[in-house]
Amino acid sequence: MSNINRRTLVKGSLAAAIAGTALSRAAFADTAEPILLGVSGPLTGPNAQYGTQWKQGFDLALDDILAGGGINGRKLAYQFEDSQSDPRQSVAIAQKFVSDPKIVLELGDFSSPASMAASPIYQRGGLVQFGFTNSHPDFTKGGDFMWSTSVSQADEQPLLAAYAVKKLGLKKLAVLHLNTDWGRTSRDYFNNAAKEYGAEIAITEGYIAEERDFRSTLVRVRDANPDGLVLISYYSDGALIARQARQVGLKQVICAASSVYSPKFLELGGDAVEDVHVGTRYFPEDPRPEVQKFIAGFKKKYNGLEPDAFNAYAYDAMNMAAAVVRIGGTDRKAIRDAFTKVKDVPSVIFGTATFDVASRRVKGAMNAELVVRKGQFALWDGKPT
Amino acid sequence: MSSWLDYTINGLIVGNVYALVAVGLALIFGVSRLINFAQGSIYLVGAYIGWVAVVQLHTPLPLTIIFVAVVAALVGLIIERFGLRPLQNSVRIAPLLATIGISFVLDQLVMLTFSPNPRALPSQLPDVRFQVGGGTIGPLDLLIAGVGISSALLLFVFLRYSKLGWAVRAASQDRDAAMQMGVDVNRVNQAVFGIAAALGGVSGLLVGMYYNQIDTAMSLQATLKGVVAEVVGGAGNVPGAVVGSLLLGLVESYGVAVFGTSYRNLFAFLLLVVVLVLRPNGLFASARQAPPEPLTGTFIAPSRPVRIPRWALLVAVAVFAILPLLPVSFYVLQTLINAWLLGMLALSLTLVAGTIGQVSLGHAALLAIGAYTSALLSLTLSVPVGLAIIAGGLMSAALGTILISPSFRLRGHYVSIATLAIGEIVSLVILNWESVTRGPIGISGIPPLSLFGYDLIDPKSVYWFSFTVMVVLALLQARLLSSHLGRSFRAIRDDDIAARAYGLSLNRYKSLAFIFGGFAAGVSGGIAAHLYSYINHETFNTQQSILALTVVILGGLGNVVGAVVGAVALVGLPEVFRIAAEYRILIYGIVLLLLVRFRPQGLLGTI
């Protein structure tokens, strides 16, 4: 009995899927329909928070785009498919997007295993995979349909190293990094730059994302006797490390990568993150118009909430997607070519973004040197802490 | 040398944190012989209820604790009444799957209610620090230690000296006998789940305050560490759980001291394997204690499998074989490719878990071994992909069997926990053995599938390739099960003492099962590596192992067709529920619970 049910179920869902594709093909001709982008990202699972932040950034950008008349009169919209940042699901989503003619461009995924597993499908299917948080050095090597506005760590980490070594005068550093492809790549770029500027790397410690207890790690750090701690972390683990460092009595200067730049870092870290130095790509009082527009718009749309780095990446990515679609129209190959043509798109992260056609990435991220003062991010005033 | 004092203190502090979860797990295991995978979710619920109390209602700490304990206890009672009690007369493996389903549902409910963003949970204790060694400890450290140790002591006294406590122990030793003596077993179970849940909720609250951070991803980690600590101390032994937790904390801390942070969990799981191998019942099991598990035969009860006529199977295979010729979208094909890959893993697991009774919770490690072997061979030595995949299967078979062999002397739940640990160890070795595996950077640019020089890149050919491999493996396994080997396997599962009395060498047969199973899983991992073109240590994670076990239990343990049906169902359902967006995993969890409730022996039944 259950056997029959099972098979009817499977066949039923297959039939529904076939019907679904037929339907979507029929609807394609309608130009009153919005231009649709596919987003593959985590809405559930351990990385769900980042997917939620993407949505906030996307929605704000879409409001702006619509207010500016849309894309040649047509509305821009996205279809967000939850991948849980799991490669098994991101490849299925990739096939779904590739075989859906309404999707003109894809954004995401979040983690490297999920994004890069899907790359061959996007490449062969001829749909641009626009991975705006994919810093893995091999991501854009997946093919000429892989483009990224993720700040290259080769760009970002020397800026942080310059802040820590040249500006703050730190000579002996302890580097704590998330032991992922991002953290590992960043650490290498940071260490090289810091050594070049004349600092010594006293100790490096990689930790896994689920780690919450750093007290023993910090004893190792203490014994290495550094004069500064460098956190290549996200905001939640960065806040944990800062708190525990102060608890075990480490009083050294702490510098952190831009990925901790979030109001959550202040909330989770409390007093412990006071005086933490952060190299970021923008800051609240930044006079650049695109930053002011982003921050004011964000606060207005989300009840006074401060945007964070991931909100900004998503906001920029959606604006970039709009700029590309304006040039390339709705043809997937023309959109790929539009990435090579698009110039000086206003961007929170880059000021203006233009792709380097050879690496398919954007170079020249903005730099702001911040410090936490009285529980707020503020531009560093040049005073030592 | 003062650093060693600091490492010791830090180890004890984090051990305290583990103890809170471990005590609750031990209590439940002691009575119902169940690893409660939902304990971490109750811990999560406790943390968020605590957040509501502290941040929204501004309750003082004693009131917060009472509030969290009461709400968590209620959740525990609901779980016991509606999730587990209906299953008490079914196979023992069903409640395990039910707790996995419950944890999905609870985690998702919390995520949907509170959003997945982490939140600060401010401590309500005065911020004074005491200098101890080179570091400091605060009042929260003392409170956590106090709650952990006093709850263990109270439970110990309760179990030993109170009437309800006697009833609990009687029920845990022999449920039927206890019932005959007039013990209300349901009331006992209620009491135990209520207490354990209250404890779990309070521990979530305190740990959340300790780190000033709560998020929805904390539940699985809490369960994993809690299970390790509990088993080290002797499953079901409440004071043992506290000692086990402190020991775990110390080993991790010393591991960090000697080898560095990235080796931390490696030591936690190695400790577990060593303890299990040397003292299979945990450190504090007394010799007089009754065996911790009933015979495996009652762990996996045979049921009447659903008989599927041969022609129906042939028709099904034919339909799926010609599917790519029909106008189906590549999305459907890709989903089914995923199902066939998961099906191979499930075939492997259904053999070792269902047929020979070694319920493995670390099966993703076999995928990883196969995937890395195949990827590295084809990439660095330019071995043809087809051969590389076979080599991946062989490597998985060999390495998997060697790794698992220390746990051959274990039974029931202990096998699951040992394999869980071995799975974690493999993943951590991949992360740390950078010269071979490229560590966290992972392996990119893995060549696509190819056969005899022809690239298989379009979804149709990948579909046919993976489908064919899976069908061949399934046929081989079906053939194996109908031979004398299959009967020997089942004999070992049903009664290993009787099997040994008949002259079956247990280790040899278990090895054979793992060799065959390891091959199938390794091939699946190898194909996946070439399909994805990029893998790293996170590609094959614990969730994958849990998913595989879910598939196997759902399909019916030991049931070859069931494994494939389960794989199609569990890959397909989350895709079908995509329209429900954020709610899809919640719906998936509920469907899983309903399936367990109404088909505890699996869709097609245990063979």
pLDDT, tens digit (0-9, with 9 covering 90-100), for B15-56: 888 888 888 888 888 777 788 889 999 999 999 999 999 999
A285 in a structural domain: no
Place of tokens 């709850």: B151
Name residues 62-81 of chain B within 8 A of A (Cβ).
none
B139 in a structural domain: yes
Residue pair A55/A311 in contact (Cβ under 8 Å)? The answer is no
What average pLDDT does this structure show over A24-37? 63
CA distances from A92 to A235, B336, B536, B577 (A): 31, 9, 19, 14
B205 in a structural domain: yes
Looking at B186, B214, B240, which one is the last position of a domain? Answer: B240
Asked whether residue A91 falls in the same domain as residue A122, the answer is yes
What DSSP state is assigned to residue B559?
A: -
Q: How many domains does chain B have?
A: 2
Q: Which of B11, B539, B568 minimises the CB distance to A10?
A: B568
pLDDT at A15: 45
Asked whether residue B483 falls in the same domain as residue B340, the answer is yes
pLDDT at B283: 78
What percent of chain A is predicted at pLDDT more than 70? 91
Residue pair B46/B68 in contact (Cβ under 8 Å)? The answer is yes
Q: Which two tokens stand for residue B598?
A: 């109404």
**Is the entire prediction scored with pTM above 0.80?**
yes
A219 inside 8 A of chain B by CB: yes
Preceding amide of A109 cis, omega within 30: yes
Asked whether residue A207 falls in the same domain as residue A264, the answer is yes
Task: Name the maximum alpha-carbon separation found in chain A.
Answer: 77
A372 in a structural domain: yes
B231 in a structural domain: yes
B66 in a structural domain: yes
Q: Which of B135, B528, B575 minimises the CB distance to A249?
A: B135
> Across the interface, do B532 and A211 touch by the CB < 8 Å criterion?
no
Q: Is the pLDDT of residue B371 over 50?
A: yes
Asked whether residue A164 falls in the same domain as residue A274, the answer is yes
What average pLDDT does this structure show over B218-245? 85
CA distances from B511 to A69, A273, A385, B403, B490 (A): 68, 53, 62, 11, 14
Which range of B77-86, B240-249, B366-375 scores highest in mean pLDDT? It is B366-375
Residue pair B295/B256 in contact (Cβ under 8 Å)? The answer is no
A120 inside 8 A of chain B by CB: yes
Residue pair B449/B390 in contact (Cβ under 8 Å)? The answer is no
Q: How confident is the model at residue A28 (pLDDT cuts 50, 70, 90)?
A: very low
Distance of CA B474 to the CA centre of its chain: 25
Three-state DSSP class for residue A370: strand
B260 inside 8 A of chain A by CB: yes
- In angstroms, the separation between the Cα of residue A382 and the nearest Cα of chain B is 30
Beta bridge partners of A379: A370
Cβ within 8 Å of residue B393, ≥6 positions away: B370, B518, B519, B520, B522, B523, B526
Query: Which residues in chain B have Cβ-Cβ distances shorter than 8 Å to A206?
Result: 260-262, 440
What average pLDDT does this structure show over A3-19? 44
Place of tokens 């118009």: A289
A118 in a structural domain: yes
Cα–Cα distance, B293 to B443 (Å, whole number)? 42
Counting every residue, how long is chain B?
607
Q: Tell me the residue type at B503.
A: G
- In angstroms, the separation between the Cα of residue A43 and the nearest Cα of chain B is 6
Query: Which residues in chain B have Cβ-Cβ distances shorter than 8 Å to A119?
Result: 533-534
Q: Which two tokens stand for residue B369?
A: 């071994």
B414 in a structural domain: yes
pLDDT at B404: 87
- In angstroms, the separation between the Cα of residue B594 and the nearest Cα of chain A is 14
Q: Which alpha helices (DSSP H) does B79-138 contain, by range?
A: 93-114
B594 in a structural domain: yes
Three-state DSSP class for residue B308: coil
Place of tokens 């779990």: B200
Asked whether residue A373 falls in the same domain as residue A235, the answer is yes
DSSP per-residue letters across A279-342: EES--TT---HHHHHHHHHHHHHTTTPPP-HHHHHHHHHHHHHHHHHHHHTT-HHHHHHHHHH-
What average pLDDT does this structure show over A271-285? 88
Pairing between β-strand A228-232 and β-strand A253-256 as defined by DSSP bridges: parallel
Asked whether residue A61 falls in the same domain as residue A165, the answer is no
| Among B536, B526, B429, CA closest to A113 | B536
Asked whether residue A256 falls in the same domain as residue A375, the answer is yes
Count of C-beta atoms within a 10 Å radius of residue B131: 9
Cα–Cα distance, A167 to A214 (Å, whole number)? 28
Count of C-beta atoms within a 10 Å radius of residue A356: 13
| Among A91, A208, A184, CA closest to B217 | A208
pLDDT at B90: 73
Q: Is the pLDDT of residue B309 over 70?
A: yes
Cα–Cα distance, A88 to B341 (Å, whole number)? 10
Q: Tell me the residue type at A304.
A: G
A186 in a structural domain: yes
Asked whether residue A172 falls in the same domain as residue A261, the answer is yes
> Across the interface, do A91 and B531 touch by the CB < 8 Å criterion?
yes
> Across the interface, do B262 and A95 touch by the CB < 8 Å criterion?
no
B587 inside 8 A of chain A by CB: no
Least confident of B176-185, B296-305, B482-491: B296-305
End-to-end Cα separation, chain A, in angstroms: 73
Looking at B193, B219, B240, which one is the last position of a domain? Answer: B240
Residue pair B420/B361 in contact (Cβ under 8 Å)? The answer is yes
A321 in a structural domain: yes
Pairing between β-strand B135-137 and β-strand B130-132 as defined by DSSP bridges: antiparallel
> Across the interface, do B604 and A2 touch by the CB < 8 Å criterion?
yes
Three-state DSSP class for residue B504: coil
Name residues 343-362 of chain A within 8 A of B (Cβ).
none
Host H or E run for residue A278: strand A277-280
Asked whether residue A178 falls in the same domain as residue A79, the answer is no
Name residues 519-538 of chain B within 8 A of A (Cβ).
528, 531-536, 538
A2 in a structural domain: no
pLDDT at A14: 45
Asked whether residue A212 falls in the same domain as residue A96, the answer is no
What average pLDDT does this structure show over A116-132? 93
Query: Which residues in chain A have Cβ-Cβ distances shorter than 8 Å to B543?
Result: 86
pLDDT at B27: 85
Q: How confident is the model at residue B463 (pLDDT cuts 50, 70, 90)?
A: very high
Asked whether residue A213 falls in the same domain as residue A116, the answer is no
Host H or E run for residue A354: none
Q: Is the pLDDT of residue B418 over 70?
A: yes
B122 inside 8 A of chain A by CB: yes
Asked whether residue A187 falls in the same domain as residue A263, the answer is yes
Measured in degrees and rounded to the nearest 5, phi and psi for residue B216 equal: -75, -10
ipTM: 0.87
> Across the interface, do B256 and A112 touch by the CB < 8 Å criterion?
no
Q: How confident is the model at residue A12 (pLDDT cuts 50, 70, 90)?
A: very low
Beta bridge partners of B136: B131
Q: Is the pLDDT of residue B295 over 80?
A: no
pLDDT, tens digit (0-9, with 9 covering 90-100), for B187-228: 888 888 899 999 999 989 998 998 889 988 888 888 888 888
Cα–Cα distance, B575 to B331 (Å, whole number)? 10
Q: Which of A18, A138, A269 minimises the CB distance to B444?
A: A138
Enclosing domain of residue B68: 19-240
> Across the interface, do B459 and A95 touch by the CB < 8 Å criterion?
yes
The domain spanning residue A326 has which CATH number?
3.40.50.2300
Cα–Cα distance, A220 to B258 (Å, whole number)? 9
Enclosing domain of residue A102: 31-151+308-353
pLDDT, tens digit (0-9, with 9 covering 90-100), for A332-381: 999 999 999 998 998 988 888 999 888 899 888 888 899 998 888 888 88
B443 in a structural domain: yes
Cα–Cα distance, A35 to B548 (Å, whole number)? 39
Cβ within 8 Å of residue A137, ≥6 positions away: A153, A154, A185
Three-state DSSP class for residue B92: coil
Interface test with A, best of B263, B367, B533 (most A CBs within 10 A): B533
A297 in a structural domain: no
Q: Which residues of B24-34 are buried (b: 16+ CB within 10 A; e: fewer)?
A: bbbbbbbbbbb
pLDDT at A19: 43
CA-nearest residue to B541 within chain A is: A86
Cα–Cα distance, B119 to B106 (Å, whole number)? 18
Query: Which residues in chain A have Cβ-Cβ distances shorter than 8 Å to B427?
Result: none
> Across the interface, do A248 and B329 touch by the CB < 8 Å criterion?
no
Asked whether residue B438 falls in the same domain as residue B533, the answer is yes
Beta strands in B423-574, from DSSP E residues, in sequence order:
450-451, 454-455
> Across the interface, do B459 and A205 touch by the CB < 8 Å criterion?
no
- In angstroms, the separation between the Cα of residue A77 and the nearest Cα of chain B is 16
B296 in a structural domain: no
Q: Is the dihedral of CA B176, B182, B187, B192 positive or negative?
A: negative
Average pLDDT, chain B: 86
The domain spanning residue B567 has which CATH number?
1.10.3470
Asked whether residue B52 falls in the same domain as residue B177, the answer is yes
Interface test with A, best of B54, B460, B532, B540 (most A CBs within 10 A): B532
What average pLDDT does this structure show over A65-92? 90
What DSSP state is assigned to residue B348?
A: H
Looking at B240, B257, B282, which one is the last position of a domain? Answer: B240
Cα–Cα distance, B520 to B346 (Å, whole number)? 9
> Across the interface, do B111 and A44 touch by the CB < 8 Å criterion?
yes
pLDDT at A31: 59
Q: Is the pLDDT of residue B599 over 60?
A: yes
Q: How confident is the model at residue A195 (pLDDT cuts 50, 70, 90)?
A: very high
> Across the interface, do A21 and B329 touch by the CB < 8 Å criterion?
yes
CA dihedral B464, B467, B469, B474 (to 10 degrees): -150
Asked whether residue A140 falls in the same domain as residue A113, the answer is yes
- In angstroms, the separation between the Cα of residue B186 and the nearest Cα of chain A is 31
Beta strands in A76-199, from DSSP E residues, in sequence order:
76-82, 103-108, 129-130, 146-147, 172-178
Q: How many helices and strands in chain A, by DSSP H and E? A: 12, 16
Cα–Cα distance, A249 to A243 (Å, whole number)? 10
* CA-atom Rg of chain A in angstroms: 22
Name residues 465-524 of chain B within 8 A of A (Cβ).
none
What DSSP state is assigned to residue B447?
A: P
Average pLDDT, chain A: 86
Q: Is the dihedral of CA B352, B358, B361, B362 positive or negative?
A: negative
Name residues 142-201 of chain A within 8 A of B (Cβ).
142, 176, 179-181, 183-185
> Across the interface, do A205 and B262 touch by the CB < 8 Å criterion?
yes
> Across the interface, do B578 and A82 touch by the CB < 8 Å criterion?
yes
Q: Which alpha helices (DSSP H) does B556-583 contain, by range?
A: 560-576
Cα–Cα distance, A284 to B48 (Å, whole number)? 31
pLDDT, tens digit (0-9, with 9 covering 90-100), for A93-118: 999 999 899 999 999 899 888 999 99
Q: Which two tokens stand for residue B4?
A: 């060693």
CA distances from A309 to A213, A361, B215 (A): 25, 18, 19
A385 in a structural domain: no
Cβ within 8 Å of residue A3, ≥6 positions away: B306, B308, B312, B604
Q: Is the pLDDT of residue B320 over 60?
A: yes
Q: Which of B532, B584, B603 minimises the CB distance to A91?
A: B532
CB pairs under 8 A between A and B: 244
Q: How many domains does chain A have?
A: 2
Q: Tell me the residue type at B581.
A: A
A101 inside 8 A of chain B by CB: no
What is the CA angle B161-B166-B171, rounded to 5? 160
Q: Is the pLDDT of residue A186 over 70?
A: yes
Q: Which alpha helices (DSSP H) does B350-432 contain, by range?
A: 364-380, 385-404, 412-432
> Across the interface, do B136 and A247 touch by the CB < 8 Å criterion?
yes
What average pLDDT does this structure show over B120-149? 82
Host H or E run for residue A46: none
Beta bridge partners of A372: A377
Count of C-beta atoms within a 10 Å radius of residue B436: 11
